[in-house]
Amino acid sequence: METVEMNSVSLKRPRSEDDVANADEIKRQKILEKSKTGNDSGQSTETVTEPPEDMKNEIIPNEESEEQEEEELEDSDEDGDPESFADMMKHGLTESDVGITKFVSSHKGFSGILKERYSDFVVHEIGKDGRVSHLDDFSVPVDDEVNFEDPSEETLTVLSDEDKQRLEELQLFKNKETSVAIEVIEDTKEKRTVIHQAVKSLFPGLETKTEDRDGKKYIIAYHAAGKKALAKVRTATDPRKHSWPKSRGSYCHFVLYKENKDTMDAINVLSKFLRVKPNIFSYMGTKDKRAITVQEIAVLRITAQRLAHLNKCLMNFKLGNFSYKNHPLKLGELQGNHFTVVLRNITGTDDQIEQAMHSLREIGFINYYGMQRFGTTAVPTYQIGRAILQNNWNEVMDLILKPRPGAEKGYLVKCREEWAKTKDPAAALKKLPVKRCVEGQLLRGLLKYGMKNIISAFGIIPRNNRLMYIHSYQSYVWNNMVSKRIEEYGLRAVPGDLILKGATAVHIEEGDVDNYTIHDVVMPLPGFDVIYPKHKIGEAYKEMLVADNLDINNMRHKIRDYSLSGAYRKIIIRPQNVSWEVVAYDDPKIPLFTTDLDKLEGKPLPVLPTDGKFRALKMEFSLPPSTYATMAIREVLKMDTSIKNQTQLNTTWLR
């Protein structure tokens, strides 16, 4: 096997008919695409290869990065006069900036377009039992016991068609009405109860009350949001006031199919419609936004029928495959994710493609942390993590708040300028219409605790966001060290390398080296509870941390949250279930395969020409948790996957 230095491949893409109309959305998506976590797909952890507890926050495909400040701002309008997208991204990172420099295969690279459509990237979760999640059944399981929440036949028929139409328009905000009044013709308590049940069951998100008007009884339906006095928000310990059959498991498990929406957004929408808090939902991994993803979700004491009714009003996601179980889901309990990826407008010859895919199947790819791990702005997340580990809190504050070039919301630019000019957190906060971003949270902390207590001010930022920074630094070190390891020793196991025996790392001795391959070798993320290779790379770790004013033998921090125990990660990953085919097409907008929802709705397979203008590579593969699908695709194309590089290569198309 041979290692190859990275070279950028020119990426050109056809200008489809709707490119111009969608240019702004494309630019925004490109800025926001990151993977909050690995796999480009699951927020998950392997007990022996990833750090415990605090290393569970990775996500998927492009790249929902772990930087949540971008996610939380993405729906806000841009103000100010932004630079062109290409100009903004020239300040971003390239792969070599974060240690991604090597390839393992020897084929010649070729170009292709990743995620021209979000539907070109499909992720199916693989459960701990090895079962791949699919949405293929909308039916609701039947209980032996009748439950208050399950609508009876009378409940389904008590509302007139006109009432249902008005309620649906109210539910979907299709008119300016704030409520709908339904007259109770036969006024009895039983009749009013049935109408209340019918509205709440058939139109989730609506609340009801009874009113007297001119001597007549009316059921008034209205949106629960904003009516706190009338619509109690249920908690995890008190999810519903109604009885729950003893024979039924407490958790309703279901498959969530979503398009172009991240997992937490989807759960927040479900919570709003169901009038419950998001924390009664559980899942095994968080999936990326710019993709079609299929995963299992569990919710405490919400019936399948109630969930199924939501399919009538949900946009861009569907629920199905319902079942009742006695347990929730836990983060990291998945085996991995199965990917279906389309690379459009490929330029490689058939031989190049065969060589590339055969190498991916037989050898694999370097298990680098992908670009989404390091953020998309001019201040990489690993720099902030390094300052935290150095206990340099003034530097942490400065890196988060100082003016920076590149892709920024207009109000963030104004906030940073105000901060640079006045160092007044109150004045800078006034420039921020959205206070949930990291900048806003830190400024609120400074306002509360003062400039002399930056540690406490920084502590206002949610724990996962704070840990994201130091995990980014660990990933930065790991990427650089793996590139050095492969450059120094190639793709073979050598004495002094580390392998795992159970959960324990041991060194390969001279006499045992023939018993192991490169696929057995792991390398550590720096921390106080790991050992390092016994060859040159062990010294390289120490030298890199010394250059960053850190002591590799003292990775405990005076603040416990920021003490790094470390972990081990395989340096080469060989995907499972690898398959591929090259298809021809003419229309860049046509889907090149059918999704779970297409199959449920009976949509036919797309009809593709035998000799189209363009060629696409459709490939499928499965990856374990906390690995990045973009790094597998990088190995196939032999190109830099950073937004900065792809933007420079696509400047004409993007404008």
Q: Of 48, 511, 589, 642, nearest to 342 (Cα)?
A: 589
H or E element in which residue 183 lies = strand 179-183
Amino acid residing at 197: Q
Handedness of CA 370, 376, 380, 385 (dihedral sign): negative
How far apart are alpha carbons 319 and 258 in whole angstroms? 9
Residues 195 and 219: beta-carbon distance below 8 Å: yes
Total Cβ atoms within 10 A of residue 474: 25
How far apart are alpha carbons 521 and 572 in whole angstroms? 8
Residues 310 and 270: beta-carbon distance below 8 Å: yes
Amino acid residing at 251: Y
* Buried/exposed code over 441-467 (b: 16+ C-beta within 10 A; e: otherwise): bbbbbbbebeeeebbebbbbbeeebbb
DSSP 267-329: HHHHHHHHTB-GGGEEES-PPPSSSEEEEEEEEET--HHHHHHGGGT-SSEEEEEEEEESS--
Residues 614 and 344: beta-carbon distance below 8 Å: yes
The pair of three-digit structure tokens given for residue 74, joined into one six-digit string = 């993405």
User: Tokens 């025996």 map to which residue?
Assistant: 501
How far apart are alpha carbons 125 and 293 in whole angstroms? 8
531 class by beta-carbon count within 10 Å (0-12 exposed, 13-18 middle, 19+ buried): middle
Tally of CA atoms within 13 A in the half-sphere of 457 that contains its CB: 23
H or E element in which residue 499 lies = strand 498-501
How far apart are alpha carbons 59 and 43 in whole angstroms? 5
How far apart are alpha carbons 582 and 346 in whole angstroms? 9
How far apart are alpha carbons 238 and 233 in whole angstroms? 9
The pair of three-digit structure tokens given for residue 458, joined into one six-digit string = 């920084």
Amino acid residing at 227: K
Phi and psi angles of residue 528, each rounded to the nearest 5 degrees, phi first:
-85, -10
Helix (H, G, I), strand (E, B) or coil at 61: helix
Mutual angle of helices 438-449 and 410-422, in 10-degree steps: 30
How far apart are alpha carbons 587 and 595 in whole angstroms? 18
DSSP 196-235: HHHHHHHSTTEEEEEEEETTEEEEEEEESTT-TTTSPPBB
Residues 6 or more apart from 63 whose CB is under 8 A from it? 33, 34, 35, 40, 288, 290, 370, 371, 372, 630
| Residues marked as catalytic | 288
Residues 401 and 422: beta-carbon distance below 8 Å: no
